[in-house]
Amino acid sequence: MNTLRKGIGIFLSALVLSACSSVFDKQVEWQNVKPEKFPVLTAIGQAPISLQNSQNKTQRMLMAIKASKIAAYAELAEQVYGQNINGSTTMSNLVLDNQKLQASVRGIIRGAKVVKSYPVGDSYTTELSLDFKDVYEIYIATSNRKEIKHISYY
């Protein structure tokens, strides 16, 4: 009887321990997924030259160039990320008293290229383009996003 108990105990212990090990070892291969099409976005930014805060004409021009480039980047960010619109309206005695709208945009634009930058009258204009193929290449280079390509079980 004692040997029977020992045998059953050893059998149950072996059964419990074997359940903890995995039956299969596996190797997973990953591959990146490339979109079929890549859109190209364009944006135009403008800034007045004479309203720039400087006494020097050349410096006003350089400031307008920079401001028009920033405005073009803001337009690209609006196209990529959208705008956040906040609004409020107040009434007094059932009469509209004050109405306020605020728009903001937030995002990071990588891979945009200056197509043209030129003066038009008293303003400076900058045209940007954003090819999403370039954005995709930057994304692949900086991220580790992958999908399963193949699983081998041993």
Lowest mean pLDDT among 38-42, 61-65, 137-141: 137-141
pLDDT top residue among 96 and 102: 102
List of residues 6+ apart from 130 with CB closer than 8 A: 40, 41, 42, 43, 76, 80, 109, 111, 112, 113
Lowest mean pLDDT among 56-60, 130-134, 149-153: 149-153
> What percent of the chain has pLDDT above 90?
53
Give the pLDDT score at 130.
96
Give the pLDDT score at 106.
92
pLDDT, mean of residues 80-95: 88
CB 70 within 8 A of CB 126: no
113-120, strands of its sheet edge to edge: 40-48, 123-131, 113-120
| pTM summary value | 0.66
List of residues 6+ apart from 132 with CB closer than 8 A: 35, 38, 39, 40, 41
Lowest mean pLDDT among 10-14, 45-49, 92-96: 10-14
Give the pLDDT score at 96.
83
Query: For residue 26, what is the enclosing H or E element?
Result: strand 26-31
Locus of tokens 């003066």? 119
Which of 32, 11, 47 lies closest to 148 in space, CA to CA?
32
What is the band of 53 on the pLDDT scale with cuts at 50, 70, 90? Answer: very high
Each domain of the chain, given as residue ranges in start order, spans 2-153
Strands (E), 34-140: 40-48, 84-92, 95-104, 113-120, 123-131
pLDDT top residue among 23 and 46: 46
Judged against a pLDDT cut of 80, whether residue 33 lies above it is answered with no
Q: Distance from first CA to last CA of the chain, Å, rounded? A: 42
Q: What is the dihedral of CA 56, 57, 63, 66, to 10 degrees?
A: -150
Judged against a pLDDT cut of 80, whether residue 108 lies above it is answered with yes
Give the pLDDT score at 78.
95
